[in-house]
Structure 1
Amino acid sequence: MLLLPSPSFFLIIFIPFIAIQSFAEESPYFSYCSGDNFTSPGFFKTRLHLFQNYTGPKWSLNGTVVIGNSPGFQVFGLAQCRPHISIDICNECLNQSASVVIFHSSGGCGSRRSAVIRFDLCIFRYSDRRFFGIPEHKPFRFIPTKSLNVTDGINADARDRLRDVLPRAAMEDSRYSEKITEDSGGLFIIAVAWCTVDLSTDDCLQCLSRAEESFPNGKHFGIVTSISCEVRLSTYPTSRDNIWSPSPLSPLSASNSTVPISQSRLNREGKMSKTAKMILLVGAFGVVISSLLLITFFLQQKRRNKKQTPLSIGKKMEEEILDAMKSTVFDLDTIRAATNNFTEENVLGHCGFAVTYKGVLQHGQEIAVKRLSRTSEQGLIEMENEVNLVTKLQHKNLVRLLGYYLEEEKLLIYEYLPNASLAKFLDDPVKRRLLDWRTRFKIIVGISCGLLYLHKDSLHRIVHCNLNTTNILLDSNMDPKISEFGFAKLFSVVETERYISQIVGTSEYLAPESAHHGLFSTKSDVFSFGVLVLEIITGQRIGNINNADLLSNVREHWRQGMAWKVIDKSMGPEYSSKEAFKCIEIGLLCLQENHRDRPDMASLVTMLGTL
């Protein structure tokens, strides 16, 4: 019998469709006017009228524009719509915003030099000063919303639901995020965070945090909005008629003028809303039916192929992996003999909760044995994670797992790499001289190919989460192999990023979004790769106490056109300056603060391949 999703699943699909309603039903709920009046028909007013023309098809749905070239006679504007709404509805919302806030000068902001207006679906702002990238936290205004009765338990954790979306919104290109959760009674709680797109990630998060703190005492549901950002919590029933509906607000200006919306227009909108509702119901029914058919097909295909969800790393998955590896189970006595009973002179290094020993099997094969501390629960979790992941991987730039022993001792047996880690070469002035330019470039390319395999070319998308020079091992030919997968994460095909409550990895190599917010993705590995590239080029490790400002030092020399000064002199004069400079540029591209601005590994491999 075919199993179908629960009704609540379809309601979750249905909710975003309902929320993208016809703009004819919208009313502005926040506006703010400031600045002196301008004279008519002055330059500023003329440009203000021209500015409205940019809110049509010419306008990017999320962006800024400047009208005029002469200082003092320019208009700076911002137009932004909620993601996932249609272009037509977005344009309608922006045009109506411009009409209300600009041309209704008798009661709106038409005679003021700066204004902002918020509808539910869009934000429209203009000013005679450049405000791009400058957060304005005040005024915050609380707007109560129409919500259903909720239990005390929901009220108690409502703010926690809201806090979950704040960092996600700050990271999104649209600066918008929402989260829908269902309580035990079938009531949906919607948390929304929204910044203007001109704000940086940090400024957006700071604004949203202040907005969240501005909820009045005892008020759990409603909207706190300002010029630069807003947050909201609302309840969502199954009925469209009970949706939250904030009342239109008067502008927060010295004149206390109101946004003029005539009664005739309201009546006209009332008639339109009935038609819109009918269209909405028909469209929603079609969406549900289409979704049902697609999900049915997907489930049938899934059952036929008997494929396993990439994220199901549970007991069943572990049993299947270990069963597939029966031929690689080592005998404990064999491992003890190979390592001379784990003697100190055979220690290769310490990593986390384990010690790695060199061993030689009876037939002469050299191995590396990772031995977990007997008392480490966290280490056991990491080792199980490593077994689960590494058994799936086969690539020349990834360390190869030969086998395991998981009874009295917890042991992983890897191929032995005689040149140890990249860190040992960079830390030793003598060994560093062995890294000529060809070798360094080969190491950079090899690491990039290994990461591309993890991110894209393997059967599963894997984010390493702990890429650093210690975890780059070198074989006898100085080819790099990525190791240490204890912190690595399996991602599903559709999953692009994930928040992790316990931040993992080496701090100096962590991307800003990972270090500050626990957000990991393939782009966080790209950031770590950028650090590695600059370490290889400069011959310096970022973890060394004298190199705390290594990254900023490279950036500054690059800006000044003196990148040659940071290149490691121990390579000697025989290196390609063109290739070295290009690698520095690639490293800096990987270190961009916004993770969505960083190139992916496919692009990086292509860039390196052209050198």
Structure 2
Amino acid sequence: MSPSTNFRHSLFLLLLLLLLLLLLFSSTSLIAAQPLYDVCGTTGNFTANSTYQTNLNRLLSTLSLNASTSGFTTTTVGQVPNLVMGLALCRGDVNTTECRGCLDTASQDSQQICPFNREAILWYDFCFLRFSNQRFLGSTSNDPSILLGNTANVSSPQRFSRLLNFLLNSTLNNATGSDTRFATGEVSNYTAENPTVYGLVQCLPYLSASQCQQCVRGLFDPLPTFLEGRQGGRVLGAVCTMRYELYSFFEGAPTLRLTVPLENATSPAAPPAAAPPLAVPASGQGKKNVTGTVLAIVIPSVTAISLIFLICICYWRRRKPAPQYETEAEKIMSVESILFDLSTLQVATAFFSEDNKLGEGGFGAVYKGFLPNGQEIAVKKLLNAGQGLAELKNELVLVAKLQHRNLVKLLGVCLEEEKMLIYEYVPNRSLDLHLFDPERGKELPWGTRYKIINGIAQGLLYLHEESQIKIIHRDLKASNILLDAEMNPKISDFGLAKLFDGDQTQGTTNRVIGTFGYMAPEYAMHGKFSMKSDVFSFGVLVLEVLTGRKNSGSYDSETAEDLLSFVSIEAWEKWSGGAALEIVDPVLGDEYRGSDVLRCLQIGLLCVQENPSDRPSMITVDLMLSSETVSVQTPSKPAFCGAKSFKDVPVSDSSALPVGALEKSGTRSVAMSPNEVSISELEPR
């Protein structure tokens, strides 16, 4: 055979192999792009270009964006009758890119699979999407639920059943001990031919540990008859799910590894890839997906080719990187990709001209600027080289990891001659400039105020529960809430924020710094801070939004010196006496829904209760705000933490004073104004 013939022969074989490889990956992509199951609701339809469709499109884009960064999110858009509620959940082991891709596909599929339907539920391998015009957020019902089973059977059913129950129970315990309510596991030595069984469980993160336990255990204890003896199976539910296989189907290492003594199997088990899954509804109504048919046709035809390229596939398979633990210095050094040159910022801000100055606070000034690509930015320039640098590091480490629509986005940092942080520019400045101005207050109708309350709650919920790191803000106040072009709120200024470890619930400081009037009493008096101290500050904000009054200044009551005094004397009495609407900001007139205002007032009063354990978590607050079906408890009398409380306390009795109270007062008796001890900017970016 001539060299040219050999070359053509080799080229032909290479092209053939590439064609077969393309077929293999095309079939894999086809399978991955298909929903595992879908259920279209029965709550009615909407028309094209309607308000409901507009709200639904906004909701889907928001869910996809927020869940891809946090793994789970809930959102409500619009008002009845065009209210649409939704949630999105990604499998706990997938990365941000896979999560976003799955949810984008789900958003598109929902409009094709359930066209003009007001309700839909779609399950995918990597994600779960649900929306409805009915209030379902906070529900613990797992209906509808779907069973998917492998058609191949195990070789040792009794031993397999025991090991599976052991594996799923152990994995469930691991999941309920996690904030994400997700865990994977494996148990070794099932049989010599199939040595390992793999499992996965996941609940919606808003379920409590006991609710998650009850939901998942109901999926496998006992195992449904349909799944008995099958090599693999899963149950897809509205709030919890589980899966098991004889092969590894999740990314990265399992969170739990178990082992048992080996027993010999009687016969080898068939390869799981050759057995397409079957699906049956466990409850509710749905339509059987065509995925099983596609798998039955495509997979057998490419099984042999799959074996040839098995090594390549294993090599190319993307795995989630193992967690990396860094020191604070390493975190600072790892942000080289977002470093800004001083010269760039000088040009952007016209050399920090007074015309571009947005405001000035305790650590320096904030300037507006334009990058060469036209993007508007806000530059926080730290003048104090000591405390300013410490604040920069704190804010950089924390905020660089956070991505949420209700948090101001950190764009970069400058570490040259002067230390600066660069943020997105938020055009409508801070909430306090609108809320406490009689004329600008008219720009905040009730619908906008309600949206602001909800947005702050969702941003705070993300910090406390949904982000990869648990953060206590410690300086939540109206001047640190910025409003974008659509008046959506964004929480800013993380200079005082504290990072909590996974199991940490509270901390203590010897140096209380913050804004008096927003401080929880246990923080102001004893330096104890927790998520509940942020909840207290949120409650103060809610009451400010409702009344249009600052947490300082003169009020009608002679004895009321700050907002909490006002609440305890006037708002509390009027709410208890059924006349709470009398405290509503007069600029609203009668243009509001009384039930919504009363609900928000009750939530605000719950948040400012004196005992931290009586205050709700932000998960509960978010559910109470987004769902009228969630009951709101009756609050006790609010905490009293006014400036009057400290007027007559001797300075020498430092145990009765917040440590930060002495910073401005020297040796005088302390009669503090709300902003005297704040180290945050007094003006927005």
- TM-score normalised according to structure 1 size: 0.48
- Higher RCO (C-alpha under 8 Å, 6+ residues apart): 2
- TM-score normalised according to structure 2 size: 0.43
